[in-house]
């Protein structure tokens, strides 16, 4: 079979959806290694192709011209909430030229809004963790078999939606191939926090054990979580790749010339036993690298290991410095622990990026937001990123927001958390949150000290342009 993964251009009048994190519009391009793992599985037995119309800067007419002559037997779409309208229009365009070609939709958007994408009997939704389901599904389709008993899929039959039982989670992540990055080598990827390329991302685990009520993890983890919660009413267990498997991938990336890596685990830092050998490998290959972590995971020993491996940044989800708010959102951390984690990283000169969410609880006010900004700026960290919380379906916060009437319009609509709010609290309106978000970001990113500190650190003019474009999109949504 000829199977083509398509990343369509934005067809909803907005910036393209960022499909890796899944909750924002595109600021700077990130390689979607989640779908590339699926591609790596399929290319063992099929002719797999990949087209990213966003990174190729193609428009709707060019997508349609491609479809006119394309001979694929199946199209694959990785869907997030913000891409749903674009993906529906893409399916319509495919149907104009290929009325009976298979379309397989995967990702968190279709795991939750399953029926919305099932427009005809040749569209199949893969729910939750996709790899084993897609492998079995495509194998069955290619042989003309019956996929009616395949776990983890939904489909239309005689006008009715059928949801097959949930598939069990993958127990051994080491059995999965490394992402098929050769499909995206022609596209320009860089991380403005690292400023070096060739750049890619690496995933070493799935899910996070903590219980933050608002949390929308990476798009793969969120699809996994939504599906698991349907039957178990709790988050799925965390799955880890072995250290040996991670090092094998890093060795391979170094051989292929990659110089920069971001670990996109929801929580990369767990134990020194796991972190130390990975950092030794990163150090050996002289990778520029960064990761996401919880502040309470940072000890002096951890900070030293990161420093010794020349870690380029640690991305900490802080959300607020208000202990009442932290308790309400079940962050499982105190402001004192946040300060201690930042202090250890600062002591060993590991750059820190803080992620702060505005509006995570009805306790939030203009005063608490201003206080958080003051405290964040006083820390003199490398970067502070402000977003507005959204009540994503599938989270505890969504249930709270609906029950209490906090959602504008009564229910969730896909929202770019970098710019817009759909929440109204008694003490804080959506418009007030949007204004404070903009002011906070401008006050940080347009400070002369931030500009002068970062402008000279780029490895090339291309990297500088990408970073400049990212800041413009972050601040002005353009």
DSSP state of 321: S
What ranges make up the beta strands (E) of 107-152?
A: 123-126
Q: What's the pLDDT at 274?
A: 96
Q: Strand 153-157 vs strand 160-163: parallel, antiparallel, or unpaired? A: antiparallel
Closest alpha carbon to 75 in 114, 117, 108, 116 = 117
Q: How far does CA 231 lie from the centroid of its chain? A: 24
Task: Decide if 213 contacts 329 (C-beta within 8 A).
Answer: yes
**Cα pseudo-dihedral 79, 82, 85, 91, rounded to 10:** -20
Q: Phi, psi at residue 50, to the nearest 5°?
A: -145, 125
Cα–Cα distance between 318 and 338 in angstroms, integer?
Answer: 7
Residue 237 in tokens: 């267990």
Cα–Cα distance between 434 and 412 in angstroms, integer?
Answer: 17
Cα–Cα distance between 272 and 306 in angstroms, integer?
Answer: 10
For 288, residues 6+ apart whose C-beta sits below 8 A from its C-beta are: 194, 195, 196, 259, 260, 261, 310, 312
Exposed / middle / buried, residue 4 (Cβ in 10 Å: 0-12, 13-18, 19+): buried
The CA-based angle 272-277-282, given to 5 degrees, is: 115
Task: Decide if 352 contacts 345 (C-beta within 8 A).
Answer: yes
**How many alpha carbons lie under 13 Å from residue 152 in its C-beta half-sphere?**
26
Task: Decide if 77 contacts 106 (C-beta within 8 A).
Answer: yes
- Among all chains, which residue has been given the structure tokens 């990343």? 7
Task: Decide if 442 contacts 475 (C-beta within 8 A).
Answer: yes
Q: What's the pLDDT at 456?
A: 55
Cα–Cα distances in Å, from 383 out to 145, 445, 453? 53, 8, 11
pTM of the model: 0.93
Q: What's the pLDDT at 8?
A: 98
Q: What's the pLDDT at 257?
A: 96
SS3 352: strand
Q: Phi, psi at residue 172, to the nearest 5°?
A: -120, 100
Residue 326 in tokens: 């932290």
Q: How far does CA 14 lie from the centroid of its chain? A: 18
Task: Decide if 213 contacts 399 (C-beta within 8 A).
Answer: no
Cα–Cα distances in Å, from 98 out to 4, 91, 94, 158? 13, 10, 6, 20
- Among all chains, which residue has been given the structure tokens 């401008």? 442
Cα–Cα distance between 224 and 31 in angstroms, integer?
Answer: 19
Q: What's the pLDDT at 145?
A: 81
Written as tens digits, the pLDDT of the chain (478 aa) is 999 999 999 999 999 999 998 888 888 889 999 999 999 999 999 999 999 999 999 999 999 999 999 999 999 999 999 999 999 999 999 999 999 999 999 999 999 999 999 999 999 999 999 999 999 999 999 998 889 899 999 999 999 999 999 999 999 999 999 999 999 999 989 888 898 889 999 999 999 999 999 988 799 999 999 999 999 989 999 999 999 999 999 999 999 999 999 999 999 999 999 999 999 999 999 999 999 999 999 999 999 999 999 999 999 999 999 999 999 999 999 999 999 999 999 999 999 999 999 999 999 999 999 999 899 989 989 888 899 999 999 999 999 999 999 999 999 999 988 889 999 999 999 999 999 988 887 777 666 555 556 555 555 555 556 555 655 655 555 5
């Amino acid at each position: 079979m000829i199977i083509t993964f398509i990343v369509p251009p934005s067809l909803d009048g907005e910036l393209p959806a960022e499909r890796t994190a899944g909750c924002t519009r595109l600021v700077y391009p990130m390689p979607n290694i989640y779908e590339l793992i699926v591609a790596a599985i399929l290319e063992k037995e099929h002719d797999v192709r990949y087209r990213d119309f966003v990174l190729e800067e193609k428009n709707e007419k060019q997508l349609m011209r491609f479809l006119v002559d394309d001979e694929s037997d199946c199209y694959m779409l990785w869907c997030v909430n913000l891409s749903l309208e674009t993906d529906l229009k893409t399916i319509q365009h495919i149907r104009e030229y290929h009325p009976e070609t298979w379309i397989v939709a995967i990702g968190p958007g279709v795991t939750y809004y399953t029926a919305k994408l099932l427009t005809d009997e040749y569209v199949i939704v893969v729910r939750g963790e996709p790899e084993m389901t897609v492998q079995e599904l495509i194998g069955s389709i290619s042989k003309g078999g019956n996929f009616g008993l395949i776990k983890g899929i939904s489909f239309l039959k005689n006008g009715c939606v059928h949801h097959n039982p949930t598939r069990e989670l993958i127990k051994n992540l080491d059995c999965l191939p490394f992402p098929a990055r050769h499909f995206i080598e022609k596209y320009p990827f860089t991380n403005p926090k690292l400023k070096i390329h060739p750049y890619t991302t690496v995933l070493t685990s799935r899910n996070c054990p903590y219980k933050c009520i608002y949390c929308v993890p990476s798009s793969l983890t969120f699809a996994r979580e939504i599906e698991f919660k349907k039957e178990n009413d709790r988050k799925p267990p965390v799955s880890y790749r072995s250290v040996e498997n991670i090092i094998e991938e890093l060795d391979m990336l170094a051989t292929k010339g990659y110089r920069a890596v971001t670990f996109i685990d929801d929580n990369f830092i767990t134990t020194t036993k796991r972190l130390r050998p990975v950092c030794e490998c990163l150090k050996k290959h002289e990778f520029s690298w960064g990761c996401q972590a919880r502040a309470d995971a940072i000890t002096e020993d951890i900070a030293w290991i990161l420093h010794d491996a020349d870690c380029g940044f640690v991305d900490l989800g802080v959300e607020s410095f208000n202990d009442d708010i932290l308790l309400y959102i079940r962050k499982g951390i105190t402001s004192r622990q946040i300060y201690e984690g930042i202090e250890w990283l600062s002591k060993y000169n590991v750059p820190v990026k803080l992620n702060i969410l505005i509006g995570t609880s009805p306790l939030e006010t203009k005063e608490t937001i201003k206080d958080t900004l003051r405290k964040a700026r006083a820390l003199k960290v490398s970067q502070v990123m402000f977003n507005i919380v959204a009540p994503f379906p599938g989270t505890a916060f969504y249930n709270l927001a609906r029950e209490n009437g906090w959602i504008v319009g009564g229910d969730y609509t896909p929202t770019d958390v970098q710019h817009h709010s759909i929440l109204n609290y008694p003490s804080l309106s959506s418009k007030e949150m949007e204004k404070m978000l903009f002011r906070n970001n401008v006050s940080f990113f347009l400070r002369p000290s931030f500009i002068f500190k970062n402008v000279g650190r780029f490895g090339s003019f291309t990297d500088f342009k990408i970073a400049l474009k990212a800041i413009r999109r972050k601040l002005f949504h353009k």
